[in-house]
């Protein structure tokens, strides 16, 4: 089932023609903005020379800092009266980055979100409880309007207020939730503490996104709730959620290429990589009037999955995000991503649902300290058992990523629960 069968199954040649037409329109709009006008001039590029999709590679990258430098409205391409909404990124450091939308932009955005929702089999018969934060963050309102377009019964619950969320599940018969993976792992514990069997609820599906997580975490969430979980990817610079979404086959996320031109680059050289190789995702928004963003370096690492998807959608799929380039840790010369450690932890049944990675520098060497909660059925304090478990996790980490961290096993509930995006890595290194 498709939301927009014509665009979702468009043949590649027509798709590329559409991309080029939209790219030219976006470049023209960008050149009208005060920020990009100077940006292109400084780089010595003439965007009117972009005649093919390959020419895009001649243009400079936009990075997060460009959005900060253009604050508050240096990248706006339309008269103020045409703007109907803004969002701002969650950035904890520096100035926030602001994103603008016209009526057209919001409508189109809701349309691709609807595509993703429908691709997972959700219909107007579903009750959709949206547990992502509403407000400046795009997670809440982004999925909200897409789900309304599909005709779902939408509960704009936002994040937090865990007991109320559970009450809503029961009172309104929620079938689909949108939630961060880390919050879903906390929520399921609270459901159990309330004496409710999560499998007895009406839930059928979860859309998980907004933060990196491993396949092992998806499996765990599916088992704990007895539901199907689908990966959903997006970032505020590219509207918010809905950029790429899994279909029922759950084999990578279809990236809506009539909205975004995607490139995978080597994060060090900045050069495009051959199809199927892993690198940094770079996106050009070609369907937003208010704020075109050209060749944006997402810092997210992924690759294109080769070959067609059995669902018939022609938009290419990206693999689960491995991590962000800035989250990579170098431990004893080995590159390690938090998601690799998470895979080991979440595949260990004795391990609970929450963990933290603490980085320290001892005598000029990076040291990793893993604090992980135990599963409540496991926590009876038998020291021998705990020692054996610590050893088992240590061996698996060594086998997989040749690191030897300090592992601290904690009582369930000792780490701060996540209500939105989890902060997994705490960097105490003084560099």
Contacting residues toward ligand AMP, per CB under 6 A: 89-90, 138, 209-212, 231-236, 240, 298, 300, 321, 324
> Residue 142 CB, nearest distance to ligand AMP (Å)?
9
**Which of the choices Zn ion, ligand AMP, none does residue 247 contact, using the CB cut-off of 5 to 8 A by kind?**
Zn ion
> Residue 94 CB, nearest distance to ligand AMP (Å)?
14
> 408 vs 427, which CB is nearer to ligand AMP?
427
> 234 vs 405, which CB is nearer to ligand AMP?
234
**Which of the choices ligand AMP, Zn ion, none does residue 233 contact, using the CB cut-off of 5 to 8 A by kind?**
ligand AMP
> Residue 159 CB, nearest distance to ligand AMP (Å)?
13
CA distance linking residue 228 with residue 184, whole number of Å = 13
CA distance linking residue 35 with residue 193, whole number of Å = 53
Which residues on adjacent β-strands are paired with residue 206? Answer: 177, 229
**Which of the choices Zn ion, ligand AMP, none does residue 239 contact, using the CB cut-off of 5 to 8 A by kind?**
none
CB 202 within 8 A of CB 169: yes
> Residue 198 CB, nearest distance to Zn ion (Å)?
28
> 213 vs 225, which CB is nearer to ligand AMP?
213
> Residue 411 CB, nearest distance to ligand AMP (Å)?
29
Strands (E), 212-337: 228-235, 240-246, 253-255, 260-265, 279-285, 296-302, 304-305, 317-318, 323-324, 329-331, 334-336
Q: Which residues contact 305 (CB under 8 A, 6 or more apart)?
A: 251, 252, 276, 316, 317, 318, 319
**Which of the choices ligand AMP, Zn ion, none does residue 231 contact, using the CB cut-off of 5 to 8 A by kind?**
ligand AMP
**Burial profile 281-309: b = 16 or more Cβ within 10 angstroms, e = fewer:** bbbbbbbbbbbbbbbbbbbbbbbbbeeeb
**Which of the choices Zn ion, ligand AMP, none does residue 47 contact, using the CB cut-off of 5 to 8 A by kind?**
none
> Residue 375 CB, nearest distance to ligand AMP (Å)?
25
**Which of the choices Zn ion, ligand AMP, none does residue 309 contact, using the CB cut-off of 5 to 8 A by kind?**
Zn ion
Cis bond leading into 72, ω under 30°? yes
> 191 vs 309, which CB is nearer to Zn ion?
309
DSSP assignment letter at 1:
-
> 31 vs 284, which CB is nearer to ligand AMP?
284
> 237 vs 246, which CB is nearer to Zn ion?
246
Q: Which helix (H) or strand (E) holds 217?
A: helix 215-225
> 311 vs 397, which CB is nearer to Zn ion?
311
> Residue 119 CB, nearest distance to ligand AMP (Å)?
15
> Residue 128 CB, nearest distance to ligand AMP (Å)?
18
Which own/partner pairs from 60-65 qualify as long-range (CB within 8 Å, at least 24 positions apart)? Answer: 60/295, 61/270, 61/282, 61/295, 61/296, 61/297, 62/293, 62/294, 62/295, 62/296, 62/297, 63/296, 63/297, 64/91, 64/97, 64/237, 64/297, 64/299
DSSP assignment letter at 85:
E
**Which of the choices Zn ion, ligand AMP, none does residue 146 contact, using the CB cut-off of 5 to 8 A by kind?**
none
> 112 vs 188, which CB is nearer to Zn ion?
112
Per DSSP, the three-state class of 228 is strand
* Helices 162-172, 181-193: inter-axial angle, 10-degree rounding: 80
Per DSSP, the three-state class of 200 is helix
> Residue 324 CB, nearest distance to ligand AMP (Å)?
5
Q: Which residues contact 95 (CB under 8 A, 6 or more apart)?
A: 68, 71
In the complex, the residues that contact Zn ion under the rule CB under 5 A are 247, 309, 311, 313
> 8 vs 105, which CB is nearer to Zn ion?
8
**Which of the choices Zn ion, ligand AMP, none does residue 211 contact, using the CB cut-off of 5 to 8 A by kind?**
ligand AMP
**Which of the choices ligand AMP, Zn ion, none does residue 236 contact, using the CB cut-off of 5 to 8 A by kind?**
ligand AMP
**Shortest CA distance to 150 belongs to which of 356, 21, 23, 2?**
2
């Amino acid at each position: 089932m498709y939301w927009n069968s014509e665009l979702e199954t468009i043949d590649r040649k027509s798709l590329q023609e559409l991309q080029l037409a939209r790219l030219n329109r976006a470049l023209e709009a960008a050149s009208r903005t005060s920020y990009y006008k100077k940006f292109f001039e400084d780089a010595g590029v003439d965007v009117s020379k972009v005649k093919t999709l390959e020419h895009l590679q001649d243009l400079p990258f936009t990075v997060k800092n460009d959005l900060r430098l253009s604050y508050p409205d240096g990248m706006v391409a339309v008269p103020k009266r045409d703007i109907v909404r803004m969002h701002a990124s969650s950035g904890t450091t520096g100035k926030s980055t602001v994103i603008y939308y016209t009526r057209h932009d919001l409508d189109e955005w809701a349309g691709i979100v609807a595509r993703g929702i429908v691709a997972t089999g959700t219909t107007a018969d579903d009750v959709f409880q949206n547990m992502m934060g509403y407000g400046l963050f795009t997670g809440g309102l982004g999925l909200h309007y897409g789900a309304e377009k599909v005709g779902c019964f939408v509960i704009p619950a936002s994040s937090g207020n865990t007991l109320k969320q559970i009450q809503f599940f029961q009172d309104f018969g929620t079938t689909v939730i949108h939630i961060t993976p880390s919050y879903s792992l906390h929520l399921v514990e609270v459901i159990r503490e309330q004496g409710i069997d999560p499998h007895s609820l009406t839930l059928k599906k979860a859309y998980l996104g907004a933060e990196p997580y491993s396949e092992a975490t998806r499996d765990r969430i599916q088992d704990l709730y007895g539901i199907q979980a689908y990966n959903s990817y997006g970032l505020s610079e590219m509207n918010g959620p809905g950029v790429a979404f899994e279909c029922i086959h759950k084999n990578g996320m279809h990236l809506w290429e009539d909205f975004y031109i995607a490139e995978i680059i080597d994060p060090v050289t900045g050069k495009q990589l051959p199809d199927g190789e892993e690198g940094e995702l770079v996106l050009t928004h070609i369907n937003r009037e208010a704020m075109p963003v050209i060749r944006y370096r997402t810092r997210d690492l992924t690759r294109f999955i080769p070959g067609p998807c059995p669902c018939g959608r022609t938009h290419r799929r990206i693999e689960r995000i491995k991590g962000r380039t800035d989250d990579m840790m170098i431990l004893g010369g080995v590159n390690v991503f938090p998601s690799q450690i998470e895979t080991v932890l979440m595949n260990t049944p004795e391990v609970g649902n929450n963990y933290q990675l603490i980085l320290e520098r001892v005598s000029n060497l990076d040291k990793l300290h893993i604090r992980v909660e135990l599963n409540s059925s496991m926590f009876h304090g038998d020291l021998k058992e705990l020692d054996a478990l610590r050893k088992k996790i240590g061996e698996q980490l060594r086998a997989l990523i040749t690191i030897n961290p300090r592992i601290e096993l904690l009582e369930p509930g000792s780490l701060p629960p996540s209500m939105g995006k989890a902060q997994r890595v705490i960097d105490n290194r003084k560099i």
